[in-house]
Amino acid sequence: MDFTLSKEQKDIVKAAREFAEGEFPDVAMEFDRNETFDLGLWKKACELGFVGVFIPEEYGGLGYGFLEHCLITEEFWAVDPGIGQAVLSTTFGAELLGLFGSEQQKNLVLPSLVTGEGILATAITEPDAGSDVTSATTTAVKEQGEWVINGSKMFITNGNLAKHVLVFCLTNPENPSRHGRHSFILVPTDIPGYEATKMHGKLGTRASDTAEISLVNVRVPLENLVGEEGNGFRELMAFFNRTRLHICAQAVGLGRAALEESIRHTKERRQFNAPLASFQVTQFKLAEMATWIRAARNLYYEAAWCADQGKIDHALIAMAKWFSAEMAVRCADEAVQMHGGYGYFDEYKVQRLYRDVKILEIYEGTKEMEKTIVARSILG
């Protein structure tokens, strides 16, 4: 069993780290404080080939695997989670289109994500439908050769910026199975009835756009259905089995940042006439953080490698997702603790990491839902 990255993968890691270190630090605090982002930075990342590397070459991508995308994600998040999210979430939904979209849909959307000409969003969550996605009530009804969509969505990443949105809709309400009632429909955002409102006051990842979406009599052609009618829940689960890998990489990157900041601070900060790093209690904290990070990385490497081989391990992905997110929360907490009062102020990166980290245990499957998946897999 070889755990060594290939030369090409190592080159990707090096290039991603150099780009992030060169571009993110000077603007990270500004973006966080003002809840803003410079799309020029995203376009530059696209030009350098960092965005959508998993998109097949026939649609303009580099044709790499999910592991390569995760490697880039880890490096970006290790420098700044907010900017890392803002840049790399612009392809959110490309995985689903790649699996279930028609050739027309893929040719329309995927190339623009790579070139920096378009952003994709995926709208699933509603005010009263979070973990229980089968409770989603946004409706899509067939009328005169079109889908007519009505409803609202909450917490939608890039809802204000996207050129297209994949909307999770109730299309077959009479189906006796809760898992056979919904479908995904591709919606362009420049049509009447689509309205996105920026949501302010997020705890963390504030550079990334988050929106509340309203859909009022939005009309799109029937061919905008993605995959099979009524198969939306299964498509969503297949989609999450790819994107949850990205969350693992985000967590490892953030955990790394917390560790790096802690090492730097405890070497420089002196108490009782000695560096904090010289005390055993500090050394134990650093050792634990390094071990948690290594364990989480090994989990997501294995899960991503399996996915790239076409072997989706639902339970392994769930393990990697909840463990890596929980690991990152612990690392961020310990980093603030080791910084003491300094860690409570935004001049220090660990304060931002502490706020950024919590979303990892919430989006794309809460840690409780991930543990439920693991438990069911071992109980049979």
Report the predicted TM-score, pTM, of the whole model to 2 decimal places.
0.96
Residue 3: pLDDT band with limits 50, 70, 90: confident
In whole angstroms, how large is the CA radius of gyration of the chain? 21
Residue 1: pLDDT band with limits 50, 70, 90: low
Q: Tell me the per-residue pLDDT of 232-287, one tens digit each, with 9 for 90 and over.
A: 999 999 999 999 999 999 999 999 999 999 999 999 999 999 999 999 999 999 99
Helix (H) or strand (E) holding 155: strand 146-157
Q: What is the rounded average pLDDT of the residues 144-148?
A: 96
Rounded to a whole number of angstroms, the distance between the first and last alpha carbons of the chain is: 29
Helix (H) or strand (E) holding 216: strand 210-221
Q: Could you say which DSSP state residue 312 is in?
A: -
Q: Tell me the per-residue pLDDT of 162-178, one tens digit each, with 9 for 90 and over.
A: 999 999 999 999 999 99
145: left (phi over 0), alpha (psi -120 to 50) or beta: left
Distance CA 97, CA 101 (A): 4
pLDDT at 380 over 90: no
Q: Tell me the per-residue pLDDT of 80-136, one tens digit each, with 9 for 90 and over.
A: 999 999 999 999 999 999 999 999 999 999 999 999 999 999 999 999 998 999 999
Closest of 208, 198, 133, 119 to residue 165, by C-alpha: 119
- Per 3-state DSSP, the chain is made up of helix, strand and coil in percentages (nearest 5) of 60, 15, 25
Q: What is the pLDDT of residue 2?
A: 78
pLDDT at 377 over 70: yes
The catalytic residues are 364
Average pLDDT in the chain: 97
Q: Tell me the per-residue pLDDT of 274-296, one tens digit each, with 9 for 90 and over.
A: 999 999 999 999 999 999 999 99
Q: Tell me the per-residue pLDDT of 318-343, one tens digit each, with 9 for 90 and over.
A: 999 999 999 999 999 999 999 999 99
In a 3-state reduction of DSSP, which class is residue 269?
coil
| Domains of the chain from N-terminus onward | 7-115 (1.10.540.10), 120-231 (2.40.110.10), 233-379 (1.20.140.10)
